[in-house]
Structure 1
Amino acid sequence: MLEEAEEWLSRRSWSATDRPLPQLLSAKRAAGAAGSISVVLPALNEEATVGAIVEALRRDLMERTPLIDELLVVDSGSTDRTSEAAAAAGAKVVHRDEILPRVPSVPGKGEVLWRSLLAASGEIICFVDADLREFDSRFVSGIVGPLLTEPDVQLVKAMYDRPLGDQSRVDGGAPQGGRVTELVARPLLNLHWPQLAGVVQPLGGEYAARRSLLEQLPFPVGYGVELGLLIDTLNLAGLDALAQVDVGVRRHRHQDGQALGRMAAAIMRTAQSRLPGTVMPITIGLTQFERARDGGFLPQTHPIHADERPPMCTVPEYAARQAA
């Protein structure tokens, strides 16, 4: 299996510079409706960064080069001016609760991504996290490239350097982020899904996929969504349906250790639910500790929700829209 992953790594890994924009635009035009592209930014309290991302994408990939057809920000309940900043920069903004209102929404990134399939119009859906700094539009043009030029590819992950904090160096000597990836996701994949050992950023929030694939997959509602989609794509479409593209450097906000612990628990729960014969409760508790002012430690138990939304193609409203 590891040999298969290494062989895949050499065949299905590219750089964003391998496909210049004129080539992508030509391929998009040749594809017709199948080449329509929606970029979706799930956002929760990202007023400081979402506007700059939207501005860069509109400038580079809508106005200068008409590669993107739709730029959508899905607000998942922000208490700051995220929606206003995104709209002012030129994005279409939709609130999570306005999409499929028949189904009560729950907190979580995966919930927003799942609902966005009903809100977006493109046949290629590109997800981009809204907390990126010093954003480069190659994050989008790079990962949609293989979907426009390689008919067998169905899901493309971005890969990148991920300097920790404000480190300016991105060579091998610089501290790297992605602690949950290295401590949790990568060991899980190597142990249980070794075919996926060649994926550089399995938990990365920047990836693009064909609608025809995404609509067939269940979506974990929380932090396990990226790992779940990766494993389920492997099982449904095979290893060669996956690819990855080097887009350079990803700079974003890093979370503290306890937040990473909760993220790790959700990812482990998602992975375990995909192991044959495993039965686990929908909600588990993660107990963490804080130092009390008067000495000792105070336990705090956080619920880790493992709900999953069904494939969107099974939702009546979605099926009716697609038929129309």
Structure 2
Amino acid sequence: MLQVSPEIGTWLTRRSGKAGDWTTRELVAAKRGTTVSVVIPARNEEATVGAIVAAIRDDLLGTLVDEILVVDSHSTDATAEVAAAAGAAVVAQDSVFPMLEGLPGKGEALWKGVAATSGDLVVFVDGDLYDFTTDYVTGLLGPLLTDPSVAYVKGFYHRPLGTEADGGGRVTELVARPLLNMFWPELAGFVQPLAGEYAGRRDVLESIPFVANYGVEIGHLIDLLELRGLDALAQVDLGHRAHRHQSTQALGRMSGQIMQTLFDRLERYGRLVTAVPPSTLLAQFRRGTSPGVDREIVLTDLTSPQRPPLNSLALRDIA
């Protein structure tokens, strides 16, 4: 029978938990002056973001959580208004560090969210969750508030897709997991390496770069493994996650961004040096919109710019 390495087996036992392992009362007692910020990146999430903010506001704000910030990532709907009405502070993504040219992407929103908050601990929650409960927040905070050696906590969960109980997470299973097992097998124990729900200590988050697009999560894991070691990372079972699924073509673009990030880290940490860097162009095809054209080619530039560690910036002028 195949078995994981002793290191991974020990880590899984030592650094894996469940959201129910900690009660809110226990965590409030463990805070001891530590402040907590919840950052929610949101783009066109008016249907879901309000309920997420309201749940955190009603259950945790003022006791376990000190601030809730929604980073509006160029929404064209009422995301900002709904989030504010539910009780969150809201900032437009490009209004943070306005002297910098804005970059598109989820990672940019997360980086700006860290910059615009002040909590000692920062919890990230995606804004498109249908079944959110505040166990997500308490579960992610559990290891950080009760074990000072833990620097960063990833969530994991069952991810349904249609009638399949665990059919979600297609990019994880087809792209991220195989590549991590090949090049960073130390990270093979993470159930959901691309999970959008995670938390970290501010000094840790400010010490690492943020890839501006969907490569941000895999970049975090690799950078923190290299800088802090595996034992500084933990994961918590958050139960179940239902959210808006993206199209296959959108997942292809996301996969390309993740692969670009991983190849960047391979060179950065000397694990693989290529004579010819990988192309950043992705060619995809869609049904033709012109008479007589069955397929049209669509080119996407997958270049993955990244923001530097926040602690490297000389200017913290937030508008």
Q: Shorter-chain TM-score: which interval?
A: over 0.9
**Pairing partner for 2:112 from 98, 112, 115:** 115
- Aligned to 1:80, the other structure's residue is in SS state coil
Determine the C-alpha separation between the residues in 2 that align with 1:174 and 1:112.
30
TM-score normalised over the length of structure 2: 0.93
In structure 2, the CA distance between the partners of 1:261 and 1:61, relative to structure 1 (3 Å rule), is same
Determine the C-alpha separation between the residues in 2 that align with 1:130 and 1:281.
35
Per the alignment, residue 29 of structure 2 pairs with 26
In structure 2, the CA distance between the partners of 1:60 and 1:234, relative to structure 1 (3 Å rule), is same
Per the alignment, residue 280 of structure 2 pairs with 284
Superposed CA offset, 1:250-270 (max 9, x none): 010001110000000000010
- Aligned to 2:60, the other structure's residue is in SS state helix
Tell whether 2:38 aligns with 1:39.
yes
TM-score normalised over the length of structure 1: 0.91
Determine the C-alpha separation between the residues in 1 that align with 2:136 and 2:233.
17
Determine the C-alpha separation between the residues in 2 that align with 1:118 and 1:279.
37
User: How many aligned residue pairs are there?
Assistant: 308
**Pairing partner for 1:183 from 161, 174, 190:** 174
How far does residue 203 in structure 1 lie from its aligned partner after superposition?
A: 0.3
Q: Gaps spanning 5+ residues in structure 1: where? A: 168-172
In structure 2, the CA distance between the partners of 1:279 and 1:305, relative to structure 1 (3 Å rule), is farther
Determine the C-alpha separation between the residues in 1 that align with 2:276 and 2:107.
19
Per the alignment, residue 170 of structure 1 pairs with none
Select the structure that is richer in helix. Answer: 1
Per the alignment, residue 207 of structure 1 pairs with 198
How far does residue 38 in structure 1 lie from its aligned partner after superposition?
A: 0.2
Task: Verify the 8 A CA contact 1:273 1:279 in the aligned structure 2.
Answer: no
**Pairing partner for 1:256 from 247, 256, 263:** 247
How far does residue 290 in structure 1 lie from its aligned partner after superposition?
A: 1.5
Task: Verify the 8 A CA contact 1:2 1:197 in the aligned structure 2.
Answer: no
Per the alignment, residue 69 of structure 1 pairs with 66
**Pairing partner for 2:128 from 124, 128, 131:** 131
Superposed CA offset, 1:6-39 (max 9, x none): 221111000111111111011002xx2xx21000
Paired amino acid for 2:43? L
Determine the C-alpha separation between the residues in 2 that align with 1:129 and 1:93.
15
Superposed CA offset, 1:86-137 (max 9, x none): 0000000011111111111110011111112220010101110000002111
In structure 2, the CA distance between the partners of 1:116 and 1:280, relative to structure 1 (3 Å rule), is farther
Determine the C-alpha separation between the residues in 1 that align with 2:148 and 2:44.
37
Per the alignment, residue 153 of structure 1 pairs with 150
Determine the C-alpha separation between the residues in 1 that align with 2:124 and 2:278.
26
- Aligned to 2:94, the other structure's residue is in SS state helix
How far does residue 279 in structure 1 lie from its aligned partner after superposition?
A: 7.5
